[in-house]
Amino acid sequence: MKIKITGTGSYIPSLVEPNDAFHNHTFLNSDGSAINATNETIVRKFKAITGIDERRYAKDHLNTSDLGSFAAERAIESANINREDIDYIIVGHNYGDVRFGSHQSDTVPSIASRVKHLLRIKNPRCVAYDVLFGCPGWIEGVIQAQAYMKAGMAKTCLVIGAETLSRVIDPHDRDSMIYSDGAGAVILQAREDDKDESAGIIAHESATYSLDEAHFIFFGETNNQEITDNRRYIKMYGRKIYEFAITNVPLAMKSCLDKSGVDIKEVKKILIHQANEKMDEAIVKRFYKLYGLDMPENVMPMSIRKLGNSSVATVPTLYDLILRGDLEEQTINKGDIIIFASVGAGMNINAIVYQN
């Protein structure tokens, strides 16, 4: 049995938030003290580290479930399937539907049930549920979907990553500049007698590090101690995450590739979670170093400069952009070996070796 991605789709919000929009923010340290630098300097250093020039925010009337449904529609169209034949809808996200101006996340019903409703799928045997796995949630959803297919429980699955992080960021935290909104989706199908020689999913790897690392990304109070409401925002220990990621992600990628039996020199592209340009580059360089090789040119496509970090949406969005020819100087051809990889809250890591 071959398990393949037969359709892709993404939704990139139309509202562009450039770096200079943060020049008027009041950024503070986590203890509420002033940062000894101008906003222009803070933003310039931020750009040098993350590579981000701008990010996308959802329009006020749209929620995570809306973005997910838009990406799903495009993936269904791309795969040319009947939506009533979908066996599972799996949605990776972290914060549910956070309506604009609200201080509360809404996760009942699940985002997947909301997406199924928006897609107007009538079939009750199309099972819809959410995955909360941090930024690697979409990849984990793909891993779960292929497990259902291998077990004979499904033939067609829709896996979505969607997020509206702009509604859970602290305007007084300079880390808030990283986050953005968006959605990406794929249709996965099991093929018994596929004449196409490409193998689809070849191997996968997942891990959770929670003994000391569980709270590297968390929900916390605003840096502005003059604000006394109980609202919480996405927070992170950036240096700890960086050190964790550059140590552990390359090892997980190597383990996955070794299980696949594919030679590293056959890998054409590595589609890694668009978290931080410098961190991603360090991860991929260390991955190749484990094999005694230098990182090849153009092996790591990046979308973070224009789209920011949309968490679970980054990898499927990147994949869709490349396949549709919308990412400059990047292509993925039939038969190419690619690696999907991600790291995020939990702390969770995963990877997939895939033949396109």
Closest-CA residue to 161 (of 26, 12, 49, 23): 12
Q: Which CATH superfamily is domain 200-355 in?
A: Thiolase/Chalcone synthase (3.40.47.10)
Backbone dihedral angles phi then psi of residue 102, each to the nearest 5 degrees:
-90, 155
| pLDDT at residue 103, as a whole number | 75
Pairing of strands 267-272, 337-344: parallel
Domain 2-191: assigned CATH number: 3.40.47.10
| pLDDT at residue 227, as a whole number | 85
Mean pLDDT, 10 residues at a time, over the chain (356 residues)? 94 96 90 89 93 96 97 98 98 94 86 98 98 97 97 96 95 93 97 76 96 93 84 91 96 97 96 95 97 96 96 98 93 96 96 96
C-alpha dist (Å) from residue 29 to 4, 32, 180: 46, 5, 21
| pLDDT at residue 101, as a whole number | 83
- For 82-119, give one letter per residue: b (16+ CB within 10 A) or e: ebeebbbbbbbbbbbbbbeeeeebbeeebbbbbbbeeb
Pairing of strands 88-92, 127-131: parallel
Contact assessment for residue 88 and residue 131, using Cβ atoms and an 8 Å cutoff: no
Contact assessment for residue 89 and residue 111, using Cβ atoms and an 8 Å cutoff: no
The dihedral built from the CA positions of residue 114, 116, 120 and 123, taken in this order, carries a sign that is negative
**Spatial distance between the Cα atoms of 126 and 90, rounded to a whole number of angstroms:** 10
Every domain of the chain and the residues it spans: 2-191, 200-355
Contact assessment for residue 35 and residue 224, using Cβ atoms and an 8 Å cutoff: no
Collapsing DSSP states into helix, strand and coil, what is residue 344?
Answer: strand
